[in-house]
Structure 1
Amino acid sequence: MSSPTLGEQPSPAASEPVVPAPAPAVAAIVTTGSQWSDAEFTLRALAAQDYPRLAVLVLCDAEGEQGLRVRELLPTAAVADPVSFRRSRGRGRQRGRMGAVNNRGASLVRGADYLLFLSDRVALASDAISILVDDAENVPGRIVGVAGPKLLDASDGLTLRDLGGTADRLGVRIPVAGQDELDQEQHDEARDLFVAPTEAMLVREDIFRIVGGFDPALEGDGAVVDLCWRIQLSGARVRVVPSATGTVQSDAAPAAHGPSARQHEHRARLRTMAKCYGWVHLLPAVMLAAVLAAGEVVLAALRGRFAQASDVALAWLWNARHLGGTFALRGAAKRYRRVRDADLRRLQQGGSVRVADWFRYRLSPEGGLAARTTIDESILGTWRRNAHRTVWVVWLGVLGLIAFGSRHLLTGGVGAYGQFAHFPDAGTMLGAYLDGWRDSGVGAAGIGPPAMGLLGLAGAVLLGGVGLLRNIAIWGLVLAGPVGMWRLCATDSSEDGPSRNGRLVALVLYAVCPLPYNALAAGRWDVLLAYGTAPAIVLLTSRLVGTSAARPPRDGSRRGTAARLASLALLLAVVAAFEPFIVVLAAAAGVALALVELVRRAPRREPLGAPVAGLLRVAVAVALAAVAHLLWLFEFGSLRAFLEVSLGGRTSSTPLSLGELLRFQTGPLGDLPLSWGLLAAAAVPLLVGSGGRLWLAVRGWLVALAGFAFAWVIVAGWADQLVSSATPELSLAEVSLAFGAVGLCWAAAAGPATLATADSDAPPRIRSAMVLLSGIAVGAMVLPTAWASIDGDWSAPSFDHRVPLGLVDDRDVGPDYRVLWLGAPEVLPLRGSDLGVEGLAMGMSVRGYPDIRHSWATPQAPGDERLANAVRVGLAGDTLRLGRLLGSFGVRYVVVVERSGPSYTDGWDRPVSAAVSEALASQIDLRPLAADPSVQVFRNEAWWSSRSQFSRPIPVGFAADPVDLVVSDLTDGIGVLTDYRSATSQFGPVGAGTVLVADSYDPGWRLHIDNADNAGAAAVEPAPALGWAMRFDPPQAGQAELRFERSAVVSNRIAAQVLIWLALIWVAIGQPTPLADRLAALMKRSTR
């Protein structure tokens, strides 16, 4: 090889003969594709080269047909199987990336001075290699690292295809030749450029080794820009020699797998900038690239080009995942850098060429006219070109409506009103389930509600983010409903099931149903839960019954059926932990679906065993869900007691009419006649449908009728005989309406497809009338909800009672006490029990405002009934010393709630009667406190702490008769054990004298007292007191801890219940799911 230096070489002696230096050795590395005709095109041109020292290496399937043909055509060529060919399950042989393949070829070459990288679509002229080498060897100035030819179109030999180019500061390649530019010798001067032609370039071998070759992770133009940039950093030049020519064939079809070329380009630009720029130029370039990428993602999404938006985002994700390798290559580039960034900028174009071109086109007369007049250039036209984008439009509209109507609740947060209680920390919620003691009411031993265990576990999974968990529990259900409806309508076959438009109709109708927004206004979390999960329950039930198609199991039908059965059981178990009535509704839906299938099969004389077997599977799933809560039911002692507690205490004072039920008018929404639109839309398929779609509509209607039937039975009072002490009215009726909404939307989903195929079955006028009716019905449902969204909070309270009632919360400081809450069930901030007095309910919280632990129905203890009797006596006016009666329960404050929110915000008014207000005001030991008009607050002047110690003796049988409390003043009791750690552990000093604890008696409590004079500790067992509570008689004074020790029976029940749940989870999700497969595919795509 000639010397790369610029100095004069000494002349040989005149007497010595002149021996010409041998020509530099050139190794041509040809990468082939799948078509032999392309490789033959390139190899024949190489065989005709006039360069004397040329070796050829062809990278192809060396042992296959291509390898044999290469040897026949060019016997001197070497053939190698590049390592980048790899096997992929289900895809056969795949090509590796350009950088990796070329590096493999370069590693097989020995003794070459130049490497000629060629695509199999390029045929060089016979003198092209000689011209390139001559220019690289003899051009004055710095050494040439890369030299490229002029490439013309093979079809005509006149159109310029590649003549190298430059790049902007973000690494975007800018070709010298314009698109379809003709060769008129306008570019025939050899010159330095930033980038060589992609498909044919001569690279100096020693420079190639110094810079580390191609980046094996890059492809196409990005790999060439990266290599040329790094070669110039090393001090070498990149030149294009137009006198060396070649022709290139038209581009082959792109590969059908892997990331797109656009994603490869974005990957390469970011990776090249990160490697080649110094820090001074890198940071502004990356910031500019990030801004442009964000703008491109947003603009592409608005224009419906989701593939483009995804490619840009995934390119950034890919670079983030490969940041370590990029920094390693950046360190290598620093070692061979000889040129500053500022010196290279003269060969680059400033700014971003993509942005400049976009604005140049928009501001040009031609581009501006096209932007204004061509619908394909408009956002709306882009959506119209693809039917799939209509789905995105509707989904964005639905999500936008929900977000717009909930904007004040989303920004200001959902207050703690109704059932939307505050969440304590995850440990407290887990303790409410695992500690073996429930502090609701007057306390009781036993396992806690399973819902508390699920919420505590979820809070732990979220790393203690209980605020996020609360938002998910509310807004996640609002969104889960439409998603579940979309999935439900996708389960039927394409011939008999809903069309895409039908799914969109069902989605819109379910999203604009008044039910969830009325639930938000009233703080009805049980209704939101039913709304969010009912579509999924109906979906899994229909799959078990056999009325909806399901994907075949991957490993046998038996395990697949078990997994589907366990999935329904697990879902029902989770939902039933919060609303037990959902199990009854799921069973009713299964009966409805099986009945439709039996009626459909009977006239055809098809076997009836399948729907019967499906109904049995649903029954098993319901039974398994019940078994998951069986140990919690044991805490109630009997099924009747469970029903009395779980169904009572939530009776509303405003029963609904049948018309209101059918319009879902459970709150502010649904009062307009337009709300009948859902029923009208669901009726259309019944009127004009036939075949499978008619049966789909019938299935939906029967599910809806089941939901409406339960709601009407409850509202009409026909279910009063089920339990003797509770009237399950509006609360459970609203839960039932969720299944009514699912059924109607499911039936309406068959409408578009039914109308589209009704040409031969219905007269044109009838069909046109039905189409018009359907459109009016859907619009009628949308309009009221859209109008109600204007206020931004669905008429829900913007604030709760925590601020007005801050005086009843001691922030866990001071003696222990309770707060008694009275009012209508729907406005109380906790789960109350029915008092049987003018529709009032009663509940108790510990140390201030209640949280989610006080939201569940729990078994009634003897003390709870005594407390209820005391309140009834006081409200009836039979005593003026209600404070003394309540003092024995540790009640310090009595709060009467008459509105769901404070007076200065939206809410529901539920005032108590004048008789109740007068009865409370007449009590001589209840002092009224100034408070917001929405509540009445009384301070109990006869209160003594629920952990009080008395210096005077307390008789053992004291207060067995409540009359003893009325005539006795116990306010001299001193509050002890004031260091409140949890419901089962309180610390503090105690002295001599009886300690009364106003919790239900249980032998599991112990009072542990440390003696300063004795290293040991005394453990005092409780004794019954007050007819329901406990007393401790400490033998000594000292630091004490009141601690509850969970019994072995409770521990065994908790362990058994956890094992049942784990078994359900293992069977339900013990095999791969389609969602898991999709996530794995997405992650694989982003890491390529």
Structure 2
Amino acid sequence: MSSTDSPRLHHSVTAIVVSHDGARWLGETLDALLAQTRPVDRAVGVDNGSRDGSAALLTGVLGPKAVLTLPRSTSFGQAVAKVLDRLGPAGGREWIWLLHDDCAPDANALQALLHAADADPKAGVLGPKLRDWLDRRILLEIGVTVDRTGRRDTGLEAREFDQGQYDGVRDVLSVSSAGMLIRRDVWDEVGGLDPFLPLFRDDLDLCWRVRAAGHRVQNVTQAVAWHAEAATRRRRRIVVSGDHPRRLDRRNAIFVVMANLPFWPLMWALVRNLAGSTFRTLLFLMAKRPADALDEIVALGSVLGHPRRMTKARRARAKGRKQNHAAVRRLLTPPGAGYRRLSDRLQSYLAGTGFVESAGRHHAVTSSQEDGEELLTDAGGMQRVFGNPGVLLFLALAVVTLIAERGLIGGTRLGGGALVPVIGGSSDLWDLYLEGYHQAGLGSDAWAPPYVAVLAALSTVLLGKTWLAVSVLLLGSVPLAGFSAYVATRSMIPGRWTRIWLASSYALLPVATGVVAAGRLGTAVVFVLLPLYAALATTLLAGDGRRARRAAWGLGLLLAVGTAFAPLVYPLTLVLGALAALAFPRRGVALSVVIAFGVPVALLFPWLVQVLGDPGRLLLEAGLHQLALVDAALPAQSLLTLSPGGPGMPPLWVTGGLISACLAALLMRRNRMVIAIGWGVALFGVLVAVLVSRTPVTSLNGDAVAPAWPGVPLAFAATGMLVVAALTADRIVEFRAAGGLRRLTAFAVVAIAFSTPLLAAGMWVVKGVQGPISGNVPDVLPALAAVNSRGGERTLLLRTRQDGLTFTVLRGRLPLIGESDIPMRQAARERVGVAAAGLVSGRGADDADVLATYGVQFVAVAPPISPEISHALDSQPALARMSLSRTLGVWRLTQPIATPPVPAGDPWHDRWLWAQAAILLVVSVLAAPGSRSGSADGHTLQDPSEPVRELAPR
């Protein structure tokens, strides 16, 4: 038998009208109450200290015995509670009909509400459709919901007319207390309105608790009421609270959400409120609305500053909160709608209208029925994109990065440290990589580093902008690494929050801040790719048919990219791969390992042969190698705390939380094999870092001898440690559930672990990027020499440093990125170096003849220019001064210069390029994902959303 066929219950309705200085609306409200087609059984009025004759109106209509007078400071909820305390129980199923003094119901409103109650016995609260008091065609509410930050949402457009488009009975999160019909037993069960919420959001909190108790909250559009919203629209003075209305509303909104959400959604809501309030405060300040900015901060502080009050409120709401959260979650505002509303506000601000506080309405919400519950869904793709925790993590890290890198963004030229000043476009990089003989500098027929091709391809995608490609890889390495770590660990690490911790901790390691500060483009690329290496290696070692083979091809392709930027990556992964293949001798694993490490050799073969000819180059990375970028005697405690030294390093104690969490994993009895593997990788990385930091390396142009930077091996070490800590996080959850001392231990471990990314982000934001990198690198090639070098004449640029005199040969422009990594002919470099030293020391004209032989037309001195050098160059008869100042010195050779012939280059060069292109095409096809439903070998392929099976038993 359906609910509509069940016998109707006998209802008794007690109407409670609460007034407070509302005489201008109260008369119509009382008339509407008395005109109901289904009369109420009892009508009671409460006047909260009105001074405009509201009490007399109530007494004249309801009678003196039916009116209760209370102080002006009494809230709506307290007034209703006082009435119910004095009233005895009524017969049948008793309902309480709450009416504001500015809410006039339609004559059929009560009858329609009770009819809906008959249709659904689970209904505990019902509310009418609310229209505007003045323009009675405008819809105000058909139910209310909120997002996780407490932002109110009616699902309506501003000033939307009622044309019957929403008619029907629908499940909602909340209805307004203006016209709310609630069962007396439900009121008593949940405890009524919270006295801590004297105004605003008290009805939302009540309805949330009703739903948590297992009852339904419904909006009945056949019942209509007209509401003036006098308190919200400031049409009367509010004396129930001393706070400003907007501040009170925001405080109550945050309080209601945080008091009613379960623990883990509460943590996420806390993060969103902190970030959202900070962002809104900044917008208010930019819009020159300091009062609203103060309200936002004070509202959040008044909630977070009273943890005992919040704890007490959560305990009072604990019953049914977790069990019925799924039903409540369906009715909260979809995440996509919140981001769309934020976008609309930003567009409004940028358009010049300022940041205007919205009523919380949006248009992208549609409804559907599922299992008797109405679901709110976002009509667009915003929810799918911005509802992804990985995307949110990327955005949070991007905000941190933008603030920390505030001094580098928007400059004229990015460069400094290890980064060659970025000039040219994608076509220049393609020409550099494809040409057989490079005329830059003194000329060279060596292979251009393959990372030039990677940058050229990325620059081509980015509309030919090389500076944009470098900015994405270097300046964006922190958010990219965080997103990479989050995505790569989805099949390895259980638990969303564990992956968020792992990804954020990895992205904000000292290696990351050091990479940006010193302009280390090579390590930045490896840092982003390293989590993908770990994920693909895990799939490869699982030995699961075709899927493992595709992982091998993909790993080989990405390993080739990383090796091109930092050659040390290849031997590190080769050692680990060989050990893994021996430790897990599964069918097909050996062949997959051979594929993974054979692809980089095939793709980079000519260049790798060139690198192996000078083994010290394995320790170098893309860019310049300078003494100032490394610590000559890096202390052991720096390496043990994953700090590679150099500019941009945070204090050593920042990574203390990470080290402590990883050490705590050693105490776990489960996953011992995983812990051993992770710590093995970590110790291997630290040992390699020790060797690298103690090994002197000569830079490619021979002008610097210094230890190599141990950033890459320390990134390997950190990856192993993070995986160890993340894979043992399930024990922390068990400890928390156990209670007692174990629960406290679990909270302590979690707090210590999360301190690493929070402290690292805070330090980076406060200090900014402190290093030699700059967004406004000056042009070291004098304009005078550049203008006169149209025919290809070269310029000898001299620099004085603490370690002596260095030189660079330029050919009409600054060097392109990648040209500094092309080895020049040793004999030519030595002869030009001797000639440059001779000019500075004041020797004869033979040195000028050597420079003229190599096409050098100009001699320029970079600042600071010492008087000794300028006098020595002025004394040379073969040189004529063109310009001399504190910041520039340019001399011209007076004798004719030679035009060096251009060698033909390696005849196999073009053939190797075609071979590389063919290999790259084949590898890309083999690495591309195929069918996920099955494979030709009869094995079912594992879905990527499922965890990869363990490599060894626990």
| TM superposition score normalised by structure 2 | 0.55
Which of 557, 582, 585 aligns to 2:572? It is 585
* Cα distance, 1:644 vs structure 2: 5.2
Residue number in structure 2 paired with 1:849 = 814
- Separation (CA, whole Å) in 2 of partners of 1:401 and 1:623: 39
Q: Secondary structure at the match of 1:849?
A: coil
- Map 1:499-510 → 2, pairs under 5 A: 499-510=495-506
- Which residue of structure 2 lines up, in the alignment, with residue 1064 of structure 1? 923
Partner of 1:712: 690
State the distance in 2 between where 1:793 and 1:502 align. 28
Identify the residue that residue 749 of structure 1 maps to in structure 2. 726
Aligned equivalent of 2:466:
466
Match of 1:790 among 766, 776, 801: 766
Question: What is residue 546 of structure 2 aligned with on the other side?
Answer: 559
* Alignment correspondent of 2:424: 424
Superposed, which structure 2 residues align to 1:445-456 within 5 Å?
A: 445=445, 448-456=448-456
Distance in 2 between the 1:169 and 1:616 partners?
A: 76
Match of 1:1049 in 2: 908
Cα distance in 1 for partners of 2:445, 2:559 equals: 26
Question: In the alignment, what sits opposite 1:442?
Answer: 442
Counterpart check, 1:523 vs 2:519: yes
Counterpart of 1:939?
A: 890
Q: Contact conserved, 1:520 with 1:796, CA < 8 A, in 2? A: no
The yes-or-no answer on 1:819 pairing with 2:798 is no
Describe the superposition over 1:312-333 as per-residue Cα deviations: whole angstroms up to 9, x where unpaired: xxxxxxxxxxxxxxxxxxxxxx
RMSD between aligned residues = 5.5
Following the alignment from structure 1 to structure 2, what is the Cα–Cα distance between the partners of residues 796 and 724? Answer: 20
Paired position in structure 1 for 2:783: 807
Change (3 A) 1:574 1:687: closer
Kept in 2, the 8 Å contact 1:682–1:748? The answer is yes
Percent sequence identity is: 20
CA-to-partner distance for each residue in 1:598-637, whole Å, 9 max, x for gaps?
Answer: 3xxxxxxxxx423x95465334312211210114446x4x
Q: Which of the pair has more CA radius of gyration? A: 1
Shift of 1:564: 0.8
Match in the other structure for 1:410? 409
**Deviation for aligned residue 1:655:** 1.8
Query: Is residue 2:607 matched to residue 1:639?
Result: no
Give the aligned residue type for 2:115.
D
Q: How far is the alpha carbon of 1:1049 from its aligned partner?
A: 3.4
AA of the residue aligned to 1:735 = V
Change (3 A) 1:917 1:672: farther
1:20-71 C-alpha deviation (Å, 9 max, x unpaired): xxxxxxxxxxxxxxxx969999xxxxxxxxxxxxxxxxxxxxxxxxxxxxxx
1:2-401 mapped onto 2 (5 Å cutoff): 153=115, 155-156=117-118, 197=164, 221=166, 371-373=250-252, 375-377=254-256, 385-386=265-266, 389=269, 395=393, 398-401=397-400
Partner letter of residue 537 of structure 2? T
Contact 2:137 2:162 in 1 (8 A): no
Give the letter aligned to residue 899 of structure 2: V
User: Is residue 2:659 matched to residue 1:685?
Assistant: no
> 1:629 and 2:607 equivalent?
no
Match of residue 531 from structure 2: 535
Q: 1:768 to 1:516 in 2, by over 3 A?
A: same
Q: Secondary structure in 1 aligned to 2:565? A: coil
Residue 916 of structure 2 aligns with an amino acid whose one-letter code is Q
- The alpha carbon displacement at 1:565 in A equals 0.9
- Aligned pair count reads 633
Instruction: Give per-residue Cα distances to partners, 1:882-922, cap 9 Å, x unaligned.
Output: 33322222224455668xxxx9xxxxxxx99x999998898
Structure 1 pair 667/759, CA: closer, same or farther in 2 (3 Å)? same
* Paired position in structure 1 for 2:903: 1001
What does residue 713 of structure 2 align with?
736
Q: Deviations over 1:214-257 (max 9, x none)?
A: xxxxxxx4xx9xxxxxxxxxxxxxxxxxxxxxxx7x65999xxx
CA shift in 2, pair 1:372/1:447, >3 Å:
closer
The aligned counterpart of 2:294 is none
More divergent stretch after superposition (581-590 vs 412-421): 412-421
> What secondary structure does 1:735 align onto?
helix
Cα deviation, residue 1059, structure 1 = 0.8
Conservation of the 8 A alpha-carbon contact between 1:870 and 1:882: yes
In structure 2, distance between residues paired with 1:651 and 1:622: 31
1:572 aligns with 2:593: no
Write out per-residue CA displacement over residues 390-413 of structure 1, whole angstroms, 9 at most, x where no aligned residue.
786793654433222112223446
Amino acid at match of 1:628: L
CA contact (8 A) 2:785 2:795 kept: no
Deviations 1:565-588 (A, max 9, x none): 111111112222322222222223
Structure 2: how far apart are the matches of 1:503 and 1:194? 46
TM-score by length of 1: 0.49
CA, structure 1 residues 614+621, in 2 after alignment: closer, same or farther (shift >3 Å)? same
Question: Any stretches of 5+ residues in structure 1 without a counterpart?
Answer: 1-35, 42-148, 180-192, 199-220, 225-247, 255-348, 551-556, 599-607, 828-836, 904-910, 944-970, 974-995, 1005-1046, 1080-1088
How far is the alpha carbon of 1:881 from its aligned partner? 4.5
* TM-aligned CA distance change 1:801 to 1:888, over 3 Å: farther
**Paired AA for residue 663 in structure 2:** V
Paired with 2:761 and 2:172, the residues of 1 have a C-alpha distance of: 50
Paired amino acid for 1:503: R
- In 2, are the aligned partners of 1:423 and 1:467 still within 8 Å (CA)? yes
What is the deviation of 1:798? Answer: 4.0
Partner amino acid, structure 1, of 2:920: W
Change (3 A) 1:252 1:789: closer
Write the distance in 2 (CA, Å) between the matches of 1:804 and 1:169.
70
Q: Is the 8 A contact 1:438 1:445 kept in 2?
A: yes
Q: Cα deviations across residues 534-559 of structure 1 (Å, max 9, x unaligned)?
A: 2222222233234xxx9xxxxxx543
Q: Distance in 2 between matches of 1:809 and 1:437?
A: 24
Q: CA deviation at 1:430?
A: 1.5
Instruction: Please point out which of 853, 862, 865 is paired with 1:888.
Output: 853
Distance 1:383 1:896 in 2: 67
Q: 1:538 to 1:413 in 2, by over 3 A?
A: farther
Corresponding letter in the other structure for 2:668: G
The 3-state SS of whatever aligns with 1:850 is coil
2:180 aligns with none
More off after superposition, 742-751 vs 363-372: 363-372
Structure 2: 5+ residue runs without aligned partners?
A: 7-110, 146-159, 174-224, 276-391, 934-942, 946-954
Tell me how far 1:382 sits from its aligned partner: 7.0
| Letter in structure 2 aligned against 1:624 | V
- 1:371–1:378: 8 Å Cα contact kept in structure 2? no
Give yes or no for contact 1:925–1:942 (8 Å, CA) kept in 2.
yes
Does the CA-based 8 Å contact 1:477-1:533 persist in structure 2?
Answer: no
CA deviations 1:258-282 (Å, max 9, x no partner) are xxxxxxxxxxxxxxxxxxxxxxxxx
Q: Distance in 2 between matches of 1:1063 and 1:812?
A: 47
Is the partner of 1:703 in helix, strand or coil? helix
Mapped to 2, the partners of 1:380 and 1:781 lie a distance apart of: 27
Match of 1:1039 in 2: none
Residue 703 (structure 1) shift: 2.1
Deviation at 1:1052, TM superposition (A): 1.8
1:195–1:511 CA distance, 2 compared to 1 (3 A): closer
Aligned letter for 2:694? A
Deviations 1:127-170 (A, max 9, x none): xxxxxxxxxxxxxxxxxxxxxx9998355389999999899999
Contact 1:530 1:735 in 2 (8 A): yes
Per-residue CA deviation, residues 979-1031 of structure 1 (Å, 9 max, x unaligned), is xxxxxxxxxxxxxxxxx4225533x8xxxxxxxxxxxxxxxxxxxxxxxxxxx
